[in-house]
Structure 1
Amino acid sequence: MEERLAYIEGAEQPIAMHPKKFALWLFIVSVVMIFAAMTSAFIVRQGEGNWLDYDLPSILWVTSGIILLSSASMHWAYLSAKNDRISHLKIALTITTALGLVFLVGQWFSWVALVERDVYFVGNPAGSFMYVLTGLHAAHLISGVIFLIIVLISSFRYKIHSKRMNSMEMCATYWHFLGGLWIYLFMFLLLNH
């Protein structure tokens, strides 16, 4: 009996993760799979012919810089929350939210630039993929901005600080993921045009 008790006492604790964080990671994995499938389909379809190349709108360089800046401001927000600098947290989250909105406006202008070059959603498979990839990313970014606004409101209610970091950590993870996803998509489009 003593041997059995000693064994149970020495048992390791399982790795625990907050259920919401686990759900977020499952969601991120599913988004990665969707974009991996889309970029794979892009390459396969490009090889089949009937593919009209076009120049990428130059505003995509600007939006890429904006998303990188927003990732830096999100990290500032995370560090501010971790160190209980609530005024800095509010400023950093506001900046991140504003940059997210500016990114979305920039994406809209990239579509306007495509239309000016006679690249439409229908008719050219290359154009169709461009609209689908950037539109799908924009839809996820809208959800990220909504998440940012929720966390920003929580910060004004003093519900985010060093002892309550769960929503801040999840928001930062998702935002950095969206930024990384955009950089991947932008590099993919640059290399395949």
Structure 2
Amino acid sequence: MEEKISYIEGAEQPIAMHPKKFALWLFIVTVVMIFASLTSAYIVRQSEGNWLEFDLPEIFWYNSAIILLSSITLHWAYMSAKKDDLAKVRSGMILTSILGVIFLVGQWYSWGALVDRDVFFVGNPAGSFLYVFTGLHALHLISGVIFLIIVLISSFRFQVHSKNMDSMEMCVTYWHFLGGLWLYLFMFLLLNH
């Protein structure tokens, strides 16, 4: 008895993702859930009354421009890495890191501006939420700046180029996420303060 062997053409491949990229996406989903729950809690608590009304510090506008500019410089570095132009990769990573630190300094000054307006962490929940939002975002941004510096060092070791883009792609994904998260928080606070 003769057996026929037939091959199935076009068999589907399982979806594969680099394990570190998968871990990054899980982390991003976790951060989204944290901030979604905090903004929901903000709305619920605000509706209960006893809510301090105040204007947001002007520096939030400047920080928003800085975070947008940093995304542009990082995208420039990313595109340069795809073209193996390491000088531009390094320049873009340095600029993005500097802009990230400037953003963090701006957040520090925004807390000072809040204190000048008698908005404190302890006291009215409106202030508490604002400090928690900006503080948690700043904490994640610190990790983003560290990630930028790690990729920058890798570029000086010739480990970031068109054939080795994993760390650069993860860095870009995380940084753009942090920029988007800040813009979401800023717009949320503008509409709900």
Q: TM-score with structure 2 length normalisation? A: 0.97
Q: Give, in angstroms, the shift of residue 147 of structure 1.
A: 0.3
Matching residue of 2:15? 15
| Distance in 2 between residues matched to 1:96 and 1:36, nearest whole Å | 27
User: 2:23 is aligned with what amino acid?
Assistant: A
Per-residue Cα deviation, 1:44-102 (whole angstroms, up to 9, x for no partner): 00000111111100000000000000000010010000110000000000000000000
Question: Aligned ranges for residues 160-175 of structure 1 at < 5 Å?
Answer: 160-175=160-175
Question: Aligned ranges for residues 130-169 of structure 1 at < 5 Å?
Answer: 130-169=130-169
| Distance in 1 between residues matched to 2:181 and 2:83, nearest whole Å | 28
Q: Give, in angstroms, the shift of residue 6 of structure 1.
A: 1.5
Secondary structure of the corresponding residue to residue 2 of structure 1: coil
| Distance in 1 between residues matched to 2:174 and 2:80, nearest whole Å | 18
Matching residue of 1:6? 7
User: 1:37 is aligned with what amino acid?
Assistant: S
Question: Segments of 4+ in structure 1 off by > 2 A?
Answer: none
Secondary structure of the corresponding residue to residue 6 of structure 1: coil
| Distance in 2 between residues matched to 1:54 and 1:132, nearest whole Å | 16
Q: TM-score with structure 1 length normalisation? A: 0.97
Secondary structure of the corresponding residue to residue 134 of structure 2: helix
| Distance in 2 between residues matched to 1:85 and 1:191, nearest whole Å | 42
| Distance in 2 between residues matched to 1:96 and 1:181, nearest whole Å | 17
User: 1:2 is aligned with what amino acid?
Assistant: K
Q: Give, in angstroms, the shift of residue 152 of structure 1.
A: 0.4
Q: Give, in angstroms, the shift of residue 14 of structure 1.
A: 1.0
Counting aligned pairs with the same residue, the percent is 73
Matching residue of 2:122? 122
Matching residue of 2:69? 69
Matching residue of 1:86? 86
How many residue pairs end up in the alignment? 191
Q: Give, in angstroms, the shift of residue 12 of structure 1.
A: 1.0
Aligned Cα root-mean-square deviation (Å): 0.9
Residue segments in structure 2 that go unaligned for 5+ positions in a row: none
User: 1:16 is aligned with what amino acid?
Assistant: A
| Distance in 2 between residues matched to 1:188 and 1:2, nearest whole Å | 64
| Distance in 1 between residues matched to 2:4 and 2:125, nearest whole Å | 71
